[in-house]
Amino acid sequence: MSHNYHPKIAVLLAAYNGMQWINEQVETIFNQQSVEITLFISVDLSTDGTYEWAKQLAAMHDNVVLLPYGERFGGAGPNFFRLVKDVDFTGFDAAAFADQDDIWHQEKLAKAYGGIAAGQYDAYSSNVTAFWADGREVLIEKSQPQKKLDHFFEGAGPGCTQVFSHVVIQDFKDFLIRAGNDLKKVSLHDWLAYAFCRERGYRWFIDDWSSMRYRQHENNQVGSNNDIVAYKKRFSMIKDKWLRSQVEAIAALVAPDKFAQINSRLYLMTRFSELRRRQRDRLFLFIMVFLGIY
């Protein structure tokens, strides 16, 4: 590859009532250095003019493609699944997910793609810097060493940091199309993408560099996991069996042969050191399994 070659990257942006911040996010996507981007936007049924804004953007820029509008997805996950299934990745070197409200560092895509091009890994994610309207900023660390089974119990950090080689995104697209209605059981596209890649033997790199500023507000679907409120929310996700339902749905899709093991309490308790990347998360999950709360 010549030194002057700018890789072609398909950026998949899922939008919903995003007028407050989407313009700022798209500016930082357009400002990516040393890459050639095409921005694909899928807008969930919105009431604040997001679709009209995106339509105008696509009319003004040759490298913006707006997908047909009118469907109610009801969450970021189904909207991203739609993007992966509907976008034609022919001619692209890589693909990346984007939310509508973050701020990307200028070298985000070039740095992520550099390792893919060098053959170091097949898929990429990174740490992020969460920030709030009151000026607070917190580094969200996701780059702890990967464990043998962590992909069944957590994602690889926010989906908006994820970048995939052409081979991986095409394989993931084919997988999603085959999955059909079973996809409706999975809430988080980024977690499923991570589990899919790990089970397929693709090499996934989680960078300790923070590739972007991750906006925190009341509409965040998951958020930053860094305060007591977030921990209570996650405890209720376990108590209400939401986490277990997601583990089961993801295991059934990506590793049906391991489904029985992943749902065996004894297996999880004896292998708990392999279930999460961070030690305190492993211990917490062990206690939840031991007490029968999980």
- Predicted confidence (pLDDT) per residue in 49-62, tens digit: 999 999 999 999 99
Per-residue pLDDT of 202-216, as tens digits, reads: 999 999 999 999 999
**CA separation for the pair 190, 118 (Å, rounded):** 24
On whether residue 120 sits in a domain, the answer given is yes
On whether residue 210 sits in a domain, the answer given is yes
Count how many domains the chain has. 1
Give the pLDDT band of residue 197 (cuts 50, 70, 90).
very high
Span of 178-192, 224-238, 278-292 with lowest mean pLDDT: 224-238
Domain that holds residue 159: 8-224
CATH number at residue 152: 3.90.550.10
On whether residue 271 sits in a domain, the answer given is no
On whether residue 259 sits in a domain, the answer given is no
Q: Identify the CA nearest to 100 among candidates 20, 194, 46, 190.
A: 20
**CA separation for the pair 258, 247 (Å, rounded):** 11
Question: Mean pLDDT across the chain, nearest whole number?
Answer: 94
pLDDT at 122 (0 to 100): 98
On whether residue 208 sits in a domain, the answer given is yes
pLDDT at 3 (0 to 100): 65
pLDDT at 101 (0 to 100): 95
pLDDT at 227 (0 to 100): 62
Paired tokens of 188 = 């988080």
**CA separation for the pair 178, 164 (Å, rounded):** 19
Per-residue pLDDT of 108-128, as tens digits, reads: 999 999 999 999 999 999 999
Provide, rounded to the nearest whole percent, the portion of the chain with pLDDT above 90: 88
Give the pLDDT band of residue 232 (cuts 50, 70, 90).
confident
Q: Identify the CA nearest to 190 among candidates 214, 215, 172.
A: 172
On whether residue 140 sits in a domain, the answer given is yes
Q: Are strands 137-140 and 123-131 parallel, antiparallel or unpaired?
A: antiparallel
Q: Do the Cβ atoms of 253 and 192 come closer than 8 Å?
A: yes
3-state secondary structure of 284: helix
